Structure 1
Amino acid sequence: MSDTILIGQYMETNSVFHRLDPRTKILSLFIIMLSFLMLKTATSFTIVSLFVFGILMLSKIPFPVFMKGLKPILFILTFTFVYNVLLTKGNVIWSWSFIDVTAEGLQNGVRFVWRIILLVLLASILTLTTKPLELASGLEKLLAPLSKFHVPVEQFSLMIVIAIRFIPTILQELDRIILAQKARGHDIVHLPLVKRMLAYIPILIPLLFTTIQRAEQLTYAIDARAYGKGKGRTAYKLLQFQQIDYVVGMIAVLFVITVIIIRLGGL
C-alpha cells in the first residue's frame, strides 16, 4: 500500500527538476495547477495533457510509478465520474428506470476526472523531485514576508513537511500490522467488502499508538537538536536561483498565458 502513495516520497534521478530551486518548483507548479481550472474544451485538455506528460518524461521517473500513485484515488475518480453522469441535466442518451445518462454528464465526468488526474500527477512531481528539508526551506523562504505579521513561518513550514513525510510512514506501519495479522492466519484482503471495512477498525488502535510513538520520538529529536521555534536559524545549504530557474519560471508563465488565451478564444 505504501508503494502506491507518491506524496511524501522522494526518488533520486539526474533530472532538471531535481536541480531546480524548490521555490521555483513550488511557484511554477502552483500557477500551472491553478490554470487547470480554466480548462474546458478538448483542445485545451489535449495541449495541457501533452505539457504534463512532457514534464513527467523530463523528471526521468519511471512512468509506472505515477500510475501506481493513481490507484489510491480510483474511488474518488469513479465517484466523480458517476456523480456527473447521473446528476447532470441535458440531452438524454440512455435511460433506465429513474436513471438518465446525458451527453453533458459524460462530458463533465470525463473533464473533471481528467483534471484531477493532471493535478495529482503534477503534485507528485513536487514531492518526488524535492527532498523534505529542501521543500521546508523553500516554503519558509516563500512565506518569509508573513513573519512581519508575527506568523510562525518556520514552524508552519516544518509542520507541513513533516505531515507530508508522515503519510508514507503511516502507510508502511499499516502494511506491517496487516502482515502481522496475516502471519497469524487473519487475512483481511480476501474478506467481503463489508467485513473487510469492519476488519480495519481493530487495526486503527495499534496504528494510532505507533503513530503517536513516532511523533513523540520526532519531538525528542527536534528538542535534542535545540531547534526551538526555528526563528533565526541558519542553513547549511543556502537557496539561490540559477539560470535554469528563471528559464523554467518563464516557461510556466508562458504556459499559463497560453491557457488563458485558449480559454478566451474559445478554442
Structure 2
Amino acid sequence: MANTVLMGQYWETNSLFHRLDPRTKIVSIIFIMLSFLMLDTFISYAVATIIVLGILLLSKIPIYVFGRGLQPILFILMFTFLYHVVFTKGNVIWSWSFIEVTVEGLHNGIRFVWRIVLLILLASMLTLTTKPLTLAHGLEKLLAPLSKLNVPVEQFSLMIVIAIRFIPTILQEVDRILLAQKARGYDITALTLSKRIFAYIPILIPLLFTIIQRAEHLTYAIDARAYGNGKGRTSFKQLKFQHIDYQVGGIVIINTLVLLLLNIGGV
C-alpha cells in the first residue's frame, strides 16, 4: 500500500526537475496549480493535460509509478464523478426512479475528476523530485521574510516536511498490521467491500498507538541533535538559483498566462 502513494515518496533520477532549486519547484507548482483551479473550457483542459504530461516525461520517472499512485484515490474519483452526474440538474438523458443523469452532470463530473487528477500528478512531482531535507530548506528560505514577524518559519517548514514524509510511513504501518492479522488467519482482503470497510476500524487503535510512538521517537532524535527551534542553523548545501531556474520560471509564467487567456477568452 505504501508503494502506491505518490506524496512523500522520492524517486532518484538525473532529470531536469531533480536539478532545479526547490524554491523554483515550489513557486512554479503553486502558480500552475492556481491556474488549474480556473480551468473551464475544453481547450484549457487539453493544454493543461499536455503541460502535465510534458512534466511527467521530463522527470524521467516511469509512468506506471503515477498510474499506481492514483489507485488509492479511485474511490474518491468515482464518488466525485457520480455525485455530479446524479445531483446536477439539467437536460436528462437517462433516469431510473429518483435518479436522473443529465448532460450537465456528465460534463461537470468529467471536468472535476480531470482537474483532480491533474492537480494530484502535479503536486506529487514536488516530493518525487525533491529530497525531504532539501524541500524543508527551500520552504524555509521562501518563508524567511515572515521570521521578521516572529513567525517560527524553521519549525513550520520542518513540520510540513515531516507530515508529508509520514504519509508513506503510516501506510507501511497499515501494511504491517494487515500482515500480522493475516498471519493469525484473519484476511481483510478476502471480505466483501461492505465488511472490509468496517474491518478497518479495529486497525485504527494499534495504528494510532504506533504513530504516536514513532512521533515520540522522532522528538527524542531531534532533541538529541540539539535542533532546538532551528533559528540560526546553517546548511551544508547552500541554495543558489541557476540559469535553468530562471528559464523554467519564465516558461511557467508563460504557461500560466496562456491558460488564463484561454479561460478569459472562453476558448
Classify the TM-score, shorter chain: over 0.9
| SS in structure 1 at match of 2:202 | helix
Partner of 1:80: 80
Partner of 1:251: 251
Superposition pairs of residues 82-97 of structure 1, within 5 angstroms: 82-97=82-97
Letter in 1 for 2:156: F
Partner of 2:232: 232
User: Distance in 2 between the 1:219 and 1:188 partners?
Assistant: 33
User: How far has the Cα of 1:67 moved from its partner?
Assistant: 0.6
Partner of 2:33: 33
Letter in 1 for 2:263: R
| SS in structure 2 at match of 1:189 | helix
| SS in structure 1 at match of 2:93 | strand
| SS in structure 1 at match of 2:100 | strand
Letter in 1 for 2:18: H
Superposition pairs of residues 146-157 of structure 1, within 5 angstroms: 146-157=146-157
| SS in structure 2 at match of 1:239 | coil
User: Distance in 2 between the 1:128 and 1:92 partners?
Assistant: 43
User: How far has the Cα of 1:39 moved from its partner?
Assistant: 1.1
Superposition pairs of residues 49-64 of structure 1, within 5 angstroms: 49-64=49-64
User: Distance in 2 between the 1:117 and 1:195 partners?
Assistant: 28
User: How far has the Cα of 1:229 moved from its partner?
Assistant: 0.2
Superposition pairs of residues 1-267 of structure 1, within 5 angstroms: 1-267=1-267
Aligned identity (percent) is 72
- Greater Cα shift, 115-124 or 78-87: 78-87
| SS in structure 2 at match of 1:38 | coil
User: Distance in 2 between the 1:198 and 1:91 partners?
Assistant: 38
Q: CA RMSD in A?
A: 0.9
User: How far has the Cα of 1:118 moved from its partner?
Assistant: 0.1
User: Distance in 2 between the 1:202 and 1:107 partners?
Assistant: 39
User: Distance in 1 between the 2:254 and 2:12 partners?
Assistant: 28
Runs ≥4 in structure 1, deviation > 3 angstroms? none
User: Distance in 1 between the 2:110 and 2:197 partners?
Assistant: 29
| SS in structure 2 at match of 1:93 | strand
User: How far has the Cα of 1:202 moved from its partner?
Assistant: 2.1
User: How far has the Cα of 1:220 moved from its partner?
Assistant: 0.9
- Greater Cα shift, 77-86 or 16-25: 77-86
Letter in 1 for 2:132: P
User: Distance in 2 between the 1:161 and 1:249 partners?
Assistant: 23
Unaligned runs of 5+ in 1: none
Report the TM-score when normalising by structure 2: 0.98
Unaligned runs of 5+ in 2: none
| Number of matched pairs | 267
Report the TM-score when normalising by structure 1: 0.98
User: How far has the Cα of 1:193 moved from its partner?
Assistant: 2.2
Letter in 1 for 2:16: V
User: Distance in 2 between the 1:49 and 1:252 partners?
Assistant: 14
